[in-house]
Amino acid sequence: MTSAESSSTSYSDRDIRTCKLFYLAKYAAGILFILSAAVLPLWMFFAICFILFILAFTPALSKTAALFHLTDEEKLRQLSFDFRLLAGIMALSFLAALLFEMSGLGTGIQLPSFLIFQALAVTIFSTRSWYCLFGKVTLYENVRETDGFKNISLLYEFFLILLRVTVAFLAGVWAASFTGFDLTAEFLNQLFFISIIGAFVGSLFESIPSKMNANASIYLGALLSMWALYLLGYQTPWSETALAALFSVVLAFLAYRYKIADVSALFSAAVLGIVIILFTNLWWFVLLVAFFILGGGFTKYKFKQKKAAGLAESKTGIRSYENVFSNSFWALAIAVLYGILAAHPEYNWLAMPLVFAYVGTVATATGDTMASEIGVTAKGPTYMITNFRKARVGEDGGVSLLGEAAAFIGSTIIGLMAFAFGMIGSLPLALAVAIAGGFIGTNIDSVLGAICQKRGWLTNSSVNFFSTLSGAVISFALYFLLF
């Protein structure tokens, strides 16, 4: 018997039914709120959310909770805080949308209300609420800590993502149709694009452990990501968007299946894949996937030896969302910038430098990971990069001949792949770009480790963030030195 089952048996069937009724009421209220977009003006939605926020400070919430037999004081405090937070954030969202509308900015910066309803739809259909609706749990349990919730299958997770995409799209279509937007094919394509991103980002934020209430983080993550994409005005045909999502999900699933990534990294990689493919092309993402495969593979290289020496990655080498974004943020940013500028002929001169920068940042991430994972197994001496004095194996800022060779090989592999994928047409040039950015960027990582990480000024993820930026800048600058 699982802990979830043993826990649920300590409560009566009435408690379990009450939990289901609570979440049914939550779904009904949320759906009714979205449907109200057809009849209520924007200012009234702000007023409703603001009133709900105020009511959460009064006994009204406790009296409502009592209808569901929820009288536990600790749970009531948590419920009150969560309700106030979400209602307050939604009130601010509608206020911002109202102010943008009243400012008369027109087609400039604006926050259309349909995005708020889409984010709400993503939040309503959270994994936790869906699990509570169909599982044997009660309102008194910390659902996230039960074995049943922790062991939810990936098939179940992907079904919920598909559900979130569907309800976000439908909510967007419904709200937009009543707020002055023409439902053209172009607009629907854009709506589908941002619905997919919002659904995946919402799932990502739900999978990340956070002190913030899960509903609030899901809502904010979905809203801000969809708003950013809306402001960019970028879109692709729905068929390309769906294929990109499917391809990214399959690769992310394989990474999870072979224990390269955890659930948060799975969703992170899926978001990266969808965005990079749609703003550039498939091969850009495959190049980044090569980094994940090489990094995951060499993390497991002589893993028992590294673990015995206390030098192995945590969680048996499985990457989390922090690893994904600290190493891939600049790749994502460069890909988005490339896609946006591609639509403007006057910026064509920046296209190739951005390709160089992308190759450089991926080469840095690859070279650094291979240097770290292979270098710590070196039998030869390790030296501090800042003064070349002998250092302990695995010490921040320590380098070895084997680690430097691994960094060079990792950068070279990325250069070869960049040429094979047609990103850089000349093999010598592709190798020069990758090795310059990757090898130098890896050593900048070591310098930052010796100076900043060792003193506690930066974390390992921060060092990766800045070193991959340096690799991108070096390769970007190389273009202007050569041409």
pLDDT tens sequence across 292-304: 888 777 776 665 6
The total number of residues shown for the chain amounts to 483
Instruction: Write down the residue that tokens 């990502």 correspond to.
Output: 204
Q: Is the pLDDT of residue 119 over 60?
A: yes
Q: Is the pLDDT of residue 107 over 60?
A: no
455-475 confidence digits (pLDDT tens): 889 998 999 999 999 999 999
480 compared with 69, residue with greater pLDDT: 480
454 compared with 376, residue with greater pLDDT: 454
382-414 confidence digits (pLDDT tens): 899 998 898 888 788 889 899 999 999 999 999
Measured CA to CA, the distance from residue 90 to residue 49 in angstroms comes to 6
Token pair for 358 = 């992308």
**The pLDDT value given to residue 9:** 45
124-172 confidence digits (pLDDT tens): 998 888 888 888 888 777 777 677 776 777 778 888 889 999 999 999 9
**The pLDDT value given to residue 311:** 52
**The pLDDT value given to residue 2:** 42
Residues forming beta bridges with residue 390, ordered by sequence position: 383
**The pLDDT value given to residue 110:** 85
State the pTM of this model.
0.84
Closest alpha carbon to 438 in 413, 417, 419: 413
Q: Is the pLDDT of residue 343 over 90?
A: no
Instruction: Find the range with the poorest average confidence among 180-194, 253-267, 331-345, 349-363.
Output: 253-267
Token pair for 184 = 């053209």
**The pLDDT value given to residue 235:** 77
Residues forming beta bridges with residue 383, ordered by sequence position: 390, 399
Which helix (H) or strand (E) segment holds residue 384: the answer is strand 383-384
Q: Is the pLDDT of residue 91 over 80?
A: yes
DSSP 463-474: HHHHHHHHHHHH
Beta carbons of 468 and 458 less than 8 angstroms apart: no
Beta carbons of 196 and 165 less than 8 angstroms apart: yes
pLDDT bin (cut points 50, 70, 90) of residue 315 is very low
Closest alpha carbon to 336 in 401, 278, 406: 278
Q: Alpha helix (H) ranges present in 36-72? A: 42-55, 60-66
Q: Where are the domains of the chain?
A: 1-235, 240-483
Q: Is the pLDDT of residue 111 over 50?
A: yes
Distances (CA, A) of 444 to 80, 158, 468: 48, 39, 9
Handedness of CA 188, 189, 194, 197 (dihedral sign): positive
